[in-house]
Chains A and B, each alone.
Chain A
Amino acid sequence: MSQEANQEASHYYVPAPSPWPITGSLALLFMGFGAALSVNRIPLGYGLLATGFAILIYMLFGWFGTVARESESGKFNKKVDKSFRWGMSWFIFTEVMFFGAFFGALYYMRMHSVPDLADVEQKALWPDFTGEWPTAGPGITEKFMPMGPWGLPALNTLILLTSGVTVTWAHWALKLNKRGQLKLGLFLTFALGFLFVGLQAYEYGHAYSEMNLKLSTGAYGASFFMLTGFHGFHVTVGSIMLFVIWCRVLKGHFTPENHFGFEGVAWYWHFVDVVWLGLFIFVYWLI
């Protein structure tokens, strides 16, 4: 809300007509129909979904490539930079709200619907249900083991927290123009990110094969896999973003003064970090 950027206002960069948004819309048209058919096991859907995804990747390369070139050629002034900051902040806020819906569902099931199903009023229907968490609910009697916090999840916590440190270390390096430390810090960050995702995948395999813990394991399984799954997806996307920033650093992009691309991704990375802490406490620890 600054008024001091006045002297630059006449130079606010308004991009020329661009083919990328409509390409993205075409991608989502394919993906929307493809996904609707795919979830109903209609083979045509898989092809449409894959086509849409390919178009989306093409669009992302084209669009972000354009923005990176515009940035490097100095088209963005301070006011544009401020727009990016507002935009990224509110985007992360919407991501918080998205996770909020799933955390809300977890709390609701755990504190309200599950105890309610064990209430005296429901005894006629489910006499043996005690309502203790973790549970697959009164109607799913298959045995399963819950995922405890110590072991892999604790290791993953350490990995993500360390990656938060390395990305900050890289940021310091960028500000002091120490390019070697910047490259190393970023490399470590996305390497830790991918390691996290790999360990998470291993944990999922273990849950399915050894613990009989599945997506269909009632309230616990649904909240466990949907929360950790969406988080894992965000870590994957964040790691790819960090990788792209690393590639840009290798090409010599960013200056100590001008590097919002880096900062935006770092903000996003801290966001997935914080979500993980919530997950570690409420999904893994307090069971």
Chain B
Amino acid sequence: MAAIPDHDVVHGADHAHDHHPTGLMRWLTTTNHKDIGTLYLWFSFIMFLTGGVMALTIRAELFQPGLQIVNPEFFNQLTTMHGLVMVFGAIMPAFVGFANWQIPMMIGAPDMAFARMNNWSFWLLPPAALLLITSFFAPGGAAAGGWTFYPPLSVQMGIGMDMMIFAIHILGASSIMGSINIITTILNMRAPGMTLMKMPMFVWTWLITAYLLVLVMPVLAGVVTMLLTDRNFGTNFFNAAGGGDPVLFQHVFWFFGHPEVYIMILPSFGIISEVIPAFSRKPLFGYSSMVYATASIAILSCIVWAHHMFTAGMPVVGQLFFMYGTMLIAVPTGVKVFNWTATMWRGSMTFETPMLFSIGFIFLFVIGGFSGVVCAIVPIDVQVQDTYYVIAHFHYVLVSGSLFAIFAGAYYWLPKWTGHMYDETLGKWHFWLSMFFFNLTFFVQHFLGLAGMPRRIPDYALQFADFNMISSIGAFGFGMTQLLFLYVVLKCIRGGAKAPQKPWEGAKTLEWTLPSPPPYHTFETPPVVK
């Protein structure tokens, strides 16, 4: 971990030239990593609420058996867009927002390496979101083939699918520029003395995540391009009559898709690895093993994609390879979980909101990890494929994993960003209500899935009624709880107790050597890391 430099790193000169346009033009033209980080975080929260409304409509329909609220076609659009909006609109931009705010401050850099391109990476997101959202109003509605948009279904759909394809192209361009920016910033702009193995864990996880992004986002662009030409220009990539194969789509899609799920979890590992040591008042246990474990997870994530396709038809040797490969990921992931636990061991622990979300993360992410190992076992996967078991599994890693880590990070750094302490009582309420309602929503879905309830279907057999009702009640509770988070954040921005330079006594990284809130430009003269 980086040591705190022993001299004051903020010079008066830093404040001399933070003139910038005001009002809307400030945000449209900004090249400041803090401004852009803020934009990313607000955008992702708006998308989180948008995707959340879709989720609640889905749960409202599933509150009781039968068709009550939406017709099946619209239901399919909702499940598809909920997934796309949450993955590409909420979770990924939120982590890029953290990266923008934190990486330059944590490595002692004046800004991101490519400050103008950084602006473009963000401002490509609203056009893409607009394409996605307005596709609901296009003839035939939004894309409705699931967020994985498998052909032949996705080849047959209307203009909404084309809008989704171009939205993904734009989102991909944004992600590629963002990740190249992050790689370059980390490799080239660290403060003197900050060797790679002194970087904060959050920076390490983002470096590895950015490598995954440059590896797989172009492949996603390739596969949606093939889909586009199959739909509109007569190619036969996914058409058996022309010598192609719908399964080809699945291979290429999941070559992107599986690393993608690690793109959404590795930065949260980074956040947790910052928060746990801070509130345990101990250095992170096994720092170097954390780095190697992160890299191992990233490498393994690139060679396990076909575990999403066990039921699509595959030779037994292939099934075994992908099964064992997938299970192998549990090893480095286990290293991380044990390291976090060992960091807490005999620590002088306190339980402020970021710490609560981090411990909640470890507890629930491990459940999601275990159900992932269950899904990796071929004969079991054949049973649970496309059931609510899978829904439960990936919401345990994406909601109580990625999202809880985002909350942990937000509470951890809000005092630094806003200069005010958030309301600790309300923060704790936010955690406990989220914890309760999340489990109410998703734990029962394991049972639904094992009993055979299929995903992406608006109606279900009577025996699933009770658990679905419980799940829907939980979902609405979880949704309402997030409005509490919005209130806490707004309250924190508008006022509250003045945050000191370093509100968390166990925090060690460079951003805590800056005032709260930090000046517009920081570390124009880099600090020296001992």
Contacts and interface: CB of A to CB of B under 8 A. Distances in A.
B233 A137 contact: no
Interface in B95-134: 109-111, 113-117, 119-120, 123-124, 126-128, 130-131
Contacts of A36: 131, 159, 162-163, 165-166
Nearest to A113: B245
Contacts of A113: 240, 243-245, 247-248
Interface string B259-286: 0000000000000000000000000000
Given A1-B187, A40-B159, A109-B245, A12 B222 contact: no
Given A39-B233, A40-B162, 12 more contacts: A1-B187, A16-B20, A19-B28, A36-B162, A42-B159, A79-B188, A82-B188, A94-B176, A97-B218, A102-B222, A140-B243, A215-B233
Contact of A3 (B26, B192, B237): B192
Nearest to A10: B525
Nearest to A25: B123
B237 A222 contact: yes
B216 interface: yes
A19 B29 contact: yes
Contacts of A14: 31, 110-111, 115, 521
B242 interface: yes
Given A3-B192, A101-B219, A137 B236 contact: yes
B131 A33 contact: yes
B244 A109 contact: yes
23 contacts: A16-B20, A18-B119, A20-B116, A22-B29, A24-B124, A36-B165, A37-B159, A39-B232, A90-B179, A90-B183, A90-B214, A93-B214, A94-B176, A94-B217, A101-B218, A101-B221, A102-B226, A104-B251, A105-B222, A139-B241, A219-B236, A222-B236, A222-B244
Contact of A32 (B123, B166, B521): B166
A140 B221 contact: no
Nearest to A230: B225
B457 interface: no
Contacts of A226: 225-226, 229, 235
Interface string A67-97: 0000000000001001100110011011101
Interface in B13-41: 20-21, 25-26, 28-31
A12 B232 CA distance: 47
A152 to B, nearest CB: 23
B215 A108 contact: no
A115 B180 CA distance: 39
A201 interface: no
B234 to A, nearest CB: 3
Given A87-B113, A136-B243, A222 B235 contact: yes
B73 interface: no
Given A100-B219, A219-B243, A222-B236, A25 B127 contact: yes
A220 interface: yes
A261 interface: no
Contacts of B120: 20-22, 24-25
Size band of the interface chain B makes with A: 35 or more
B215 A97 contact: yes
A63 interface: yes
Contacts of A39: 162, 228, 231-233
Interface string B168-183: 0110010010011101
A135 B255 CA distance: 26
Interface string A32-72: 11011101101000000000000000000001000000000
Contacts of A138: 240-241, 243
B166 A135 contact: no
Nearest to A66: B116
Contacts of A6: 192, 526
Contacts of B231: 39
B234 A214 contact: yes
Contacts of B239: 137, 139
Interface in A86-130: 86-87, 90-91, 93-95, 97-98, 100-102, 104-105, 108-109, 112-114, 116-117
A105 B241 contact: no
A92 to B, nearest CB: 10
Contacts of A32: 127-128, 131, 163, 166-167, 169-170
Given A19-B29, A135-B243, A28 B116 contact: no
A218 B240 CA distance: 9
A215 B219 CA distance: 21
B245 A108 contact: yes
A252 interface: no
B189 interface: yes
Contacts of A28: 124, 127, 170, 173
Nearest to B231: A39
B524 interface: yes
A109 B252 CA distance: 12
A101 B252 contact: yes
A151 interface: no
B233 A83 contact: no
Contacts of B226: 101-102, 105, 222, 226
A161 B116 CA distance: 35
A17 B21 contact: yes
- Which of A19, A29, A114, A221 has the largest count of B CB atoms less than 10 A from its CB? A29
A17 B30 contact: yes
Interface in A198-217: 214-216
Contacts of B131: 32-33, 36
B184 interface: yes
Nearest to A37: B159
Given A15-B31, A90-B214, A35 B166 contact: yes
Contacts of B117: 21
A32 B191 CA distance: 40
Contacts of B165: 36
B382 interface: no
- Which are the 5 A-B pairs with shortest beta-carbon distances? A139-B241, A101-B222, A137-B243, A219-B243, A216-B234
B234 A137 contact: no
B223 interface: yes
A86 B29 CA distance: 25
A55 to B, nearest CB: 12
Interface in B489-523: 521
Given A94-B217, A97-B218, A221 B235 contact: yes
A6 B176 CA distance: 28
A113 to B, nearest CB: 4
Interface string A151-164: 00000000000000
A9 B188 contact: no
B3 to A, nearest CB: 16
A261 B225 CA distance: 30
B69 interface: no
A216 B233 CA distance: 7
A140 B242 CA distance: 6
